[in-house]
Amino acid sequence: VPALLGDGSEGDSGGGSPESGASPGTSPSDLRFHRLHGANAVITNGGRTALRQNCRSEFNDAIVISN
């Protein structure tokens, strides 16, 4: 069976595969949450961490987006 592009076989680093968690050309340390977020979300740690302050009582409006 011929190797498929991006399947992690010989000669393919697999860096751009969905399983890697990062888009090609970015390292996981470059991924940050955007400064705009829902009212029930908090961005901390220089954009590296997103939290819901009242996670046991409030569920809605805790939307975050990463780069």
Domain for residue 39, yes or no? yes
pLDDT attached to residue 1: 52
The answer as to whether 41 is a domain residue is: yes
Inside any domain, residue 16:
no
The verdict on residue 60 lying in a domain is yes
Q: Is the pTM above the cut of 0.85? A: no
24 belongs to a structural domain: no
What is the spatial distance between Cα 43 and Cα 22, in angstroms, rounded to a whole number?
20
In-domain check, residue 55? yes
Average pLDDT along the chain, 67 residues, taken 10 residues at a time: 50 46 62 92 93 84 89
Amino acid 37: pLDDT? 92
Domain assignment of residue 25, yes or no:
no
Q: Taking the CB of residue 37, how many other CB atoms lie within 10 A of it?
A: 16
- DSSP annotation of 53: T
Residue 43 belongs to what domain range? 31-67
66: β partners: 33
